[in-house]
Structure 1
């Protein structure tokens, strides 16, 4: 495993472990409620009503990083579940089904008061209904109203013109869904929702994401990459799950200041940087060493992933007279922004140009159908922009069919044949 180059990265990882330990103590010792939720639900509502929320995707990534996913998935398939399920979304269910004989990381998940998901693909409702049954808890679902207008360069409109960008009927529908969720959270927590408190939290989230925008601009402007992509992800995602909190804002600022100091000192991830790569898709959580494997051999550094970039472009909202509508606008088009044409490919090409990307690795996870199918449009758009693309057929959490040595050779040849020898760099 590559050494961490930033002090902030170690602190972020320690915070997440301590946060989870505190959650387990609160649930077991104080009988406090908590929730398991999909990454695209409005975390802010859970935070305001005092219900800690564990991201299903974060939990799946942790299981994968601990190399526990194959055992859980084998056990789930042994129960008769088909192997075509999205493993990213169903690995949490697998860990629950096998929990008696295969305890989870850090002591495992306690039984939640509820689980919550948006219906963004075909498998979600069935997976979460089955999971809720296994956990004997409530399942709150949020619908996913489709877009009818997809104006170009959405990231230039999303901060201040979000009402027109995301369409009033979609926002109204999502606000109604969120009001129903608020009712559940009030009942579970015994607290009362405060609209002014939400507005204040939305302002705090803006502050946090503006700091991350500073970091992004530092990376874009630096002659060589000052912070590894993996360390970007650790520092960003540790804060996004508790976004707008005092700790999240303080950590974002500390991260920015450490990156800025490295830029001013001329410190680079790889002093011999020759190739700048981007990773398109969710993280390869079972093999994050993959992202540093080409620094010494090829001078190739992963500069960009969606995790840092999407915070500023996807979450910042100005004009908070109706904070519920503004919050709805944060979640209503996540699929379009990150996965689906034309928005995803247009944004990723723009990011590639800003970050001076020489080549892109585009993840195509077979079980994640909405995300995977949209990647073909991303691939074509990048190639048309003159950026060579390597398709990576892999699952983000399931390492059973991943050959690390083979894939490192494949990427090495891609760098040599499509980038270095083509005069791209």
Structure 2
């Protein structure tokens, strides 16, 4: 689709602009993906997302170099590599072994305590760079709704919990004050509210697109095209470009469906990819079409709606708190993740779930077992692949292909 090339072109131009801003010495934030990035966007402060930067390193085929070096330096091999890889690259320090020649020291660091090792990884960042660090809380939830995605859209106060929200609002306000100090300016009045309103419109467009794809008789677009058309706008969510691109993507998908387009005319098995992208081998997603099997689902498009849509109620910072307080947990942890993946599997008529299991990424890696159990109980076949999103060293592509191919054959045999 032409919109895929447009998204890639925008990202290239943005990357050049970001590199120029950082090279000129502008202060930027380095933050985990499940933090309130909207704070920085509303301020107009550059932000580099840890997991995005990790995927860039992996795509440049540099992950093995830095992971090997980290273990020689004494870091154990069970750290969450998706989140730790950028730290290891920064510790290497050699321009020739890093994208862009490496990042300058950030103006501030931010992570959520959504896993035991994230605060420790970012503490190492702070020691390395001297940048101020904010670790946001991840307060427990004693009774989440089974269909959490429904009450979290509106109303969300009772579902999240007032005490939990009060804590997160206070921490976001503190983060905002730090960002303003580092940037040397205040967030303009109304900027966050306007940004949140545009994000709401953007995510509703993605919601429409996900439903179009779910309702289509055959898959109209590969997930290798879905991902950039969602993820690039999501990194820039709420910008004028992102909102316009979400419209372009929806319209392009609708046009393909109207034309009767199908990525696999002989579609017989619909699969879902559960977990983050396999960034060093994205071609894996298309290798089963000769068996009539397509990857019809990845988390990025449907989660743009269920994970991000939060009614404003006149308090954009509280709505932002309701968005981020369980953001990572919704995707990966029981009890949230199992029910959501079952809902999505049924909506998209999924026959087979392919689940990436990053054993070192705790607790997310172990949360996949609960997702698989929920899917099996709903009658959805599963195949588990032991792999890491950015660590190509242990990736056995032939074995992974065989496991999925054999699972497809079982699904086809069962259907006869």
User: Any conservation in 2 of the 1:95–1:102 contact (CA below 8 Å)?
Assistant: no
The residue number in structure 2 matching 1:222 is: 216
1:315 aligns with 2:308: yes
1:358 aligns with 2:338: no
Match of 1:318, SS state, is coil
The residue number in structure 1 matching 2:279 is: 285
1:115 aligns with 2:109: yes
Aligned counterpart for 2:94 among listed residues 100, 107, 129:
100
> Deviation at 1:180?
0.7
Post-superposition CA distance 1:178-234 (Å, at most 9, x none): 111011011011222345221111110000001101110110111111111121111
> Deviation at 1:43?
0.9
1:249 aligns with 2:228: no
Post-superposition CA distance 1:235-259 (Å, at most 9, x none): 1110111100001001111111111
The residue number in structure 2 matching 1:143 is: 137
The residue number in structure 1 matching 2:120 is: 126
The structure-2 alpha-carbon separation of the partners of 1:108 and 1:15, relative to structure 1 and needing over 3 Å to count, comes to: farther
Post-superposition CA distance 1:255-295 (Å, at most 9, x none): 11111110110111111111100011111111111111111
The residue number in structure 2 matching 1:3 is: none
The residue number in structure 2 matching 1:239 is: 233
> Deviation at 1:50?
1.6
1:337 aligns with 2:306: no
Question: Hey, what's the Cα distance between the residues in 2 that align with 1:211 and 1:405?
Answer: 38
For structure 1, the 5+ residue unaligned runs are: 1-5
Post-superposition CA distance 1:102-161 (Å, at most 9, x none): 432244323211111111111111111112222232222211111122112111111111
1:404 aligns with 2:392: no
Length, aligned pairs only: 416
Aligned counterpart for 1:324 among listed residues 317, 327, 349:
317
Bigger Cα displacement from structure 2, 328-337 vs 350-359: 328-337
Bigger Cα displacement from structure 2, 112-121 vs 136-145: 136-145
Bigger Cα displacement from structure 2, 297-306 vs 347-356: 297-306
Post-superposition CA distance 1:333-389 (Å, at most 9, x none): 123311111211001101000000010011110111111121111111111111100
The residue number in structure 2 matching 1:421 is: 413
Match of 1:290, SS state, is helix
User: What is the correspondence of 1:8-407 to structure 2 with a 5 Å cutoff?
Assistant: 8-29=3-24, 31-100=25-94, 102-194=96-188, 196-295=190-289, 297-407=290-400
Question: Hey, what's the Cα distance between the residues in 2 that align with 1:34 and 1:17?
Answer: 19
User: Any conservation in 1 of the 2:94–2:102 contact (CA below 8 Å)?
Assistant: no
The structure-2 alpha-carbon separation of the partners of 1:306 and 1:414, relative to structure 1 and needing over 3 Å to count, comes to: same
User: Any conservation in 1 of the 2:81–2:390 contact (CA below 8 Å)?
Assistant: yes
> Deviation at 1:408?
0.9
The structure-2 alpha-carbon separation of the partners of 1:19 and 1:101, relative to structure 1 and needing over 3 Å to count, comes to: closer
Question: Hey, what's the Cα distance between the residues in 2 that align with 1:407 and 1:346?
Answer: 26
User: Any conservation in 1 of the 2:114–2:329 contact (CA below 8 Å)?
Assistant: no
Question: Hey, what's the Cα distance between the residues in 1 that align with 2:2 and 2:263?
Answer: 14
How much is the aligned-residue C-alpha RMSD, in angstroms? Answer: 1.3
User: Any conservation in 1 of the 2:383–2:403 contact (CA below 8 Å)?
Assistant: no
